[in-house]
């Protein structure tokens, strides 16, 4: 049986060229990048090369890049770092109701410490209103954190407009760009953010490595304490092999992005057009145009998304109902509830995300079998009455 992977938003396979670039750093160039001897300096050279590659991709300076363990740490560092550094200035944070849990949970933790957090609503397509951001600002606001694009429904936020509002008010703005870096063009200076998070495993790099961009002059308190790595901003022995892999992955993304994006948009739009033709009583979640090139999210009435996933997996197709970080939860997606779906409809969601190795024949195979699966599950559902 052929195995088809349509869950690239959860994680991506490491590109063979990335593995090849990393290999020497496991056994030959294995020194500690903080050591002054030749072993250490060879490792540091590889790490700094990756830093330059990433900085060039983002259009920033190398000393504005902090390497870390991935998106969760980057988001936590941005939120806790700003909250602690600016605690004498204020205690109010603005975010959205559809953020990843790596944003929501740190905010909830800070609320228990006396901070105030405003969770902005979104419209039915998942968009945050810049006007709502402006209205939410108070004299105590120290940070605005809004994701660049949503991991579940693919909606791309108007970060440039929100960043202008933040700048006019003299407030730091952070964006979780884990789903966008490596997939759509990003110029940090054009976006106007002070901090930006990314993770290598979302763009065909290794797991366990990522980065936080911090604009020069932005004050944050270090999240980890110990050594003086990353210019005293992130203590821990550097994951040199992982960082080199991140650098190679972003280099490949830059080379392949235009071609990949064009191909994925074609498949995405084909799915968005064909699924409602073949399956009744379903709805597209997310913005119809302002969405990631590889994201398709539908809700199907009368059935549960988990049942769809199990049936798809049985015929070799891997997909998702939402964020991989909450896939074991029985609660409906907070993102789908935030865009106005009922609990029943939200439970029936299916997220399909395309990637570098997705083929048209795989999409055809999905479209052949998905209607049969939905029909079978609906006939088993006490809620369904065929029309």
- Residue 111 has which token pair? 């609320």
CA distance 43 to 290: 41
Residue 175: per-residue pLDDT = 98
Scan for tokens 């990631």, then name that residue. 292
Residue 57: per-residue pLDDT = 98
Residue 386: per-residue pLDDT = 64
- Residue pair 40/32 in contact by the 8 Å Cβ criterion: yes
pLDDT in tens, the chain (387 residues): 789 999 999 999 999 999 999 999 999 999 999 999 999 999 999 999 999 999 999 999 999 999 999 999 999 999 999 999 999 999 999 999 999 999 999 999 999 999 999 999 999 999 999 999 999 999 999 999 999 999 999 999 999 999 999 999 999 999 999 999 999 999 999 999 999 999 999 999 999 999 999 999 999 999 899 999 999 999 999 999 999 999 999 999 999 999 999 999 999 999 999 999 999 999 999 999 999 999 999 999 999 999 999 999 999 999 999 644 545 556 789 999 999 999 999 999 999 999 999 999 999 999 999 999 999 999 998 877 765
Q: What is the DSSP letter of 340?
A: T
* Strand order across the beta sheet in which 65-68 lies: 65-68, 210-214, 195-199, 172-176, 141-145, 92-96, 116-120
Residue 36: per-residue pLDDT = 94
Active site residue ranges: 325
Residue 86: per-residue pLDDT = 98
- Residue pair 290/369 in contact by the 8 Å Cβ criterion: no
Q: What is 249-303 written as a DSSP string?
A: HHHHHHHHHHHHHHHHHHHHHHHHHHHHHHSSSEEE-S-SSSB-TTEEEEEETTS
Which segments of the chain does DSSP mark as H helices, in order? 16-22, 24-27, 38-58, 71-85, 101-112, 130-136, 159-169, 188-191, 229-232, 240-278, 305-314, 334-338, 343-346, 360-380
Residue 329: per-residue pLDDT = 56
């Amino acid at each position: 049986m052929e195995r088809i992977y349509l869950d690239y938003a959860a994680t991506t396979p490491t590109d063979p060229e990335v593995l090849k670039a990393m290999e020497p750093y496991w056994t030959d160039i294995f020194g500690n990048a903080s050591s002054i001897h030749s072993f250490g300096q060879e490792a540091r050279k590889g790490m700094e090369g990756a830093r330059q590659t990433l900085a060039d991709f983002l259009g920033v300076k190398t000393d504005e890049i902090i390497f870390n363990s991935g998106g969760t740490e980057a988001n936590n560092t941005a939120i806790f770092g700003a909250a602690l550094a600016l605690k004498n200035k204020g205690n109010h944070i603005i975010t959205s109701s559809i953020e990843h849990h790596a944003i929501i949970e740190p905010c909830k933790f800070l609320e228990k410490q006396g901070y105030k957090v405003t969770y902005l609503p979104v419209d039915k397509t998942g968009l945050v209103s810049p006007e709502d951001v402006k209205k939410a600002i108070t004299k105590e606001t120290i940070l605005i954190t809004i994701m660049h694009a949503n991991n579940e429904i693919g909606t791309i936020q108007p970060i440039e407009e929100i960043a202008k509002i933040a700048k006019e008010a003299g407030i730091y703005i952070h964006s979780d760009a884990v789903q966008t870096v490596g997939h759509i063009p990003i110029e940090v200076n054009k976006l106007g953010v002070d901090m930006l998070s990314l993770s290598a495993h979302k763009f065909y790099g290794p797991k366990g490595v990522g980065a936080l961009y911090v604009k020069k002059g932005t004050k944050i308190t270090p999240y980890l304490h110990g050594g003086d790595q990353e210019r005293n901003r992130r203590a821990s022995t550097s994951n040199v092999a992982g960082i080199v892999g991140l650098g190679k992955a972003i280099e490949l993304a830059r080379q392949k992005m235009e071609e990949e994006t064009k191909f994925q948009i074609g498949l995405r739009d084909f799915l968005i057009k064909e699924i409602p033709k073949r399956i009744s009583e379903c709805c597209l979640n997310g913005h119809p145009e302002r969405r990631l090139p590889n994201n398709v999210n539908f809700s199907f009435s009368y059935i549960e998304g988990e049942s769809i996933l199990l049936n798809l997996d049985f015929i070799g197709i891997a997909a998702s109902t939402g964020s991989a970080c909450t896939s074991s939860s029985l609660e409906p997606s907070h993102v789908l509830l935030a865009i106005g779906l009922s609990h029943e409809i939200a439970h029936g969601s299916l997220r399909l995300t395309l990637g570098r190795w997705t083929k048209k024949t795989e999409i055809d195979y999905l479209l052949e079998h998905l209607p049969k699966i939905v029909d079978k599950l609906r006939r088993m559902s006490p809620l369904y009455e065929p029309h």
